[in-house]
Amino acid sequence: MEALKKNPAWKGRKGPLVLVIMDGVGYGKYKEGDAVADSKMYHLDAIKAKSPNTRLKAHGKAVGLPSDDDMGNSEVGHNAMGCGRVFNQGAALASNSIATGAMWNGQAWKDAAATKGTLHFLGLFSDGNVHSHIDHLKAMIIRAKQDGVKRVRVHTLFDGRDVGETSALDYVVPFEAFLKELSGDGFDARIGSGGGRMWITMDRYGADWEMVHRGWETHVHGKARQFATTQEAVETYRKEIPGVIDQDLKEFVIAENGKPIGTIEDGDSVVYFNFRGDRALEITAAFESDNFDHFDRGRRPTVCYAGMMEYDGDAHVPKRYLVSPPSIDRTLGEYLAASGVRTLAISETQKFGHVTYFFNGNRTGKFDERLENYVEIKSDLVPFEQRPWMKCAEITDYVLEAVSSGEYDFIRLNFPNGDMVGHTGVYQAVVCSMESMDLQIGRLARAVKEAGGIMLITADHGNSDDMFEHNKKTGEVARKVDGSPKAKTSHSLNPVPCIVYDCDYQGEYESTLVENLGISSIAAACINLLGLVPPSDYDPSIVNMK
């Protein structure tokens, strides 16, 4: 990797460049339900009023997803910001692999479909297209029957975050009709177990291994509350836990005559059909790792395990995968390391992997140990609506010292509040999270100004800007029986902020930022603001240098 060339006309600033990623913060389309606009963001508003700013695209094709109807997410958003170009991402790659038949010709699928036992499909059960898509699952079940598999069991992780918060039965009922129609003539396909994605299986970054433990006991051993049907399980939990949303539904198994119908046994195959990696690594480790000490797995079945994609390209996890991930090279981090730029990346546990692994093009580890420092602030293990400020103050505390120390040229940080609290659907908590984050942005602005640096403020996608369900045609808020707004817990399709706070600006670049760009243009902007010249094939910078 060659070092970036220096800009002879401008060497950058005395202080560091601080990239602030406000996770899940966009510009709302509707006034009602826009918790960002409804919050008292005094510091951010003041910075924006006197700084060059624009709006960036953070969804759909701008971040490598199949269409502009697809919501952006933190994984693809950080990929785009960190690599400076748009790569086709998991959803598009998986869909294309199925459409072309490449998946069925791959060795991983052939191995999984060769089972003489049961072929199990485990993953997020929705069409949110952020972690998975139910159409991929259906295509694989149809193909499994064609390939001679006799028995299929599906382990459903209910969504309620990337789709409607209580939409589980909208997927369950037609899916079970699909399975019933497909079954027969020696083929038996049924749902075997399930639960909410934030209660079982889909933990990430080691935040709460007990989630994975509950999932393991449910899917593998069949140790959970028994029901005759999935619909019965969902309806029962909703009656017993008033206000519960899909992502928090308790674990269950489907049983006949007191015996679970979907336990995972020796000789079976398991396909984890999520294409996104962050919430796939822990359950994958439970199936694949010989040296595993996060919980007692009890009986560990010998199975043929495959992921939808390779979730960790450096560690080559999982051993089998159905679709190859995008091959991302020459990232911003790699260029900066080659150019001698001293870098700090920091967030709390919930987004630590985003400012490191995803930002670096799905690469674990550092490019240069001497130049890079990665800091993880441990997240609280409580529901986010109970601590909506999360760890934004602790993140800021560390960054303030880093700014004043003079040890770093480039600092990137992620405030998770807008995304993680936004997913709860609790409006008051989201407003609290925004105002808590705004206080920290004010602290950062003062420190950056004093150090003679620049602060570039942006986001990876929208979420908190769109907290209520709206009628797409009329724009009216959807309401519950009691008249209250129906909460929206998924990401938005809205643009995100891009603000350059540079108190020592003296005309080195245009005072108006370039418009109509995507967040992939952040990488070139960072290089510009560090006094370097971006690679020629990077997407255009939002900063137009003179």
What residues act catalytically?
Answer: 74
- Tell me the Ramachandran region of residue 499: left when phi exceeds 0, alpha when psi lies from -120 to 50, beta otherwise: beta
The closest of 214, 373, 195 to 297, measured between CA atoms, is 214
Q: Going by C-beta distance under 8 Å and a sequence separation of 6 or more, which residues neighbour residue 407? A: 342
Sign for the pseudo-dihedral over CA of 462, 468, 469, 473: negative
Query: Cis peptide before 66, with omega less than 30 degrees from 0?
Result: no
Residue 475, Cβ neighbours under 10 Å: how many? 11
The closest of 15, 11, 10 to 445, measured between CA atoms, is 15
Beta-strand pair 118-124/496-501: unpaired
Q: Cα-Cα-Cα-Cα dihedral of 15, 17, 22, 27, to 10°?
A: 110
Distance CA 15, CA 260 (A): 62
Beta bridge partners of 377: 348
The closest of 328, 341, 342 to 4, measured between CA atoms, is 341
Distance CA 411, CA 474 (A): 43
Both tokens assigned to 193 = 């177990």
> Within 261-405, where are the H helices?
281-288, 332-338, 349-353, 392-405
Is residue 522 within a helix (H) or strand (E), and if so which, with residue range? helix 521-529
- The torsion angles phi and psi of 385, rounded to 5 degrees, stand at -70, -15
- Say if residues 23 and 74 touch (Cβ distance below 8 Å): yes
Length of the chain: 546
Sign for the pseudo-dihedral over CA of 214, 217, 218, 223: negative
